[in-house]
Structure 1
């Protein structure tokens, strides 16, 4: 059974959206958040939170987060960019979502455990070009399911914006 954890138009600044458990907040340290990863859209390397790099600098982007018992096939026809990462929520941790400098946020009912997170994105190029557009131009679906930790993966990358961020990580690859 699919459980919706969040389904909102997220107003953000600097394109920052994050899930946090512990002493986390994206501090601009790109290397710490993407260390050893191949994708540049979703940083999970810190172990304290999940940083999602939205395409828009400011404004609203629809973000939906769902928890499923198992993965479904990646929908490469409906989404332009798809990446997967793993996260481990420690026992007793409270999970919250937030945006740049915690301007907005709220709780997420996600129990402790290890999860695979698939982040699906559409409209990244429009979001980057219309970073201050009046209406939503990019959208995101985060699918989580229980799974052992495994390396991140780029499932599909068709936008120029995603390619830029993936290349940025590749050129700065840092390992722990």
Structure 2
């Protein structure tokens, strides 16, 4: 899936990717992590916050969902970062500030591989022009989001060359680690049971349905809840 819109609404210099389990305000320190991290974006389970130069108005946004990593970023992007994002339910979509609807062109699910870990590349240009104008209609700032399934890894900054980014980005700081989901008690119990039964499971993905089915037959959760 590749889609582009010239009118993604931004307010307070931000927009998001949301999953269906995200609750408004849940990732309350996202902007602080952007300022003390890669200067472009911050991720938490089912949530990605992207920082713009434009305070209010429109930006141009291209989104791409793919199953393999993209090639090296083009030289014409001023800021490029890769970071890890966990999708709890296998649904991730573009979300403007304040619960507004995204432009129809970029609506849709970007989590092509279902629930689990994704790598997100955020590429930006024009943030300095957007910051100088403050309010931009039509757009002067362009972003691109590329998502693909990949194991979690710390943030990787390819480059930050715009003044908006350089105001906070410090290349000597350690890269931010990915934020994993908080497992429920049932999820932890299923993983422990699977290991005790000699069933190999991937800690970077949700417990497979096949394992859940076997655990149901064995009465694992039922016996635990009855205690």
Query: What range describes the TM-score normalised by the shorter chain of this pair?
Result: 0.7 to 0.9
1:17 paired with 2:15, answer: yes
CA RMSD in angstroms comes to 2.7
Q: When the two structures are superposed, what TM-score results if normalisation uses the length of structure 1?
A: 0.81
Is residue 84–residue 178 contact of structure 2 (8 Å, CA) maintained in 1? no
Q: Which has the higher contact order (CA 8 A, sep 6+)?
A: 1
1:89 paired with 2:90, answer: no
Unaligned runs of 5+ in 1: none
- Residue 166 of structure 1 aligns to a residue whose secondary structure is coil
Alignment-derived partner of residue 7 in structure 1: 4
Aligned pairs for 1:135-150 (under 5 A) are 135-150=138-153
Q: How many Å apart are 1:58 and its aligned residue?
A: 0.6
- 1:113–1:55: structure 2 CA closer, same or farther, 3 Å change rule? same
Aligned-partner Cα distance in 2 for 1:48–1:76: 28
Alignment-derived partner of residue 95 in structure 2: 98
Alignment-derived partner of residue 161 in structure 2: 158
1:119 paired with 2:147, answer: no
Report the structure number with the largest CA radius of gyration: 2
- Residue 129 of structure 1 aligns to a residue whose secondary structure is helix
- 1:68–1:31: structure 2 CA closer, same or farther, 3 Å change rule? closer
Is residue 124–residue 138 contact of structure 1 (8 Å, CA) maintained in 2? yes
1:38 paired with 2:37, answer: yes
Aligned length: 166
- Residue 148 of structure 1 aligns to a residue whose secondary structure is coil
- 1:32–1:17: structure 2 CA closer, same or farther, 3 Å change rule? closer
Q: When the two structures are superposed, what TM-score results if normalisation uses the length of structure 2?
A: 0.64
Aligned-partner Cα distance in 2 for 1:175–1:107: 24
The answer to which structure has the higher helix fraction is 2
Is residue 120–residue 146 contact of structure 2 (8 Å, CA) maintained in 1? yes
Q: How many Å apart are 1:128 and its aligned residue?
A: 0.8
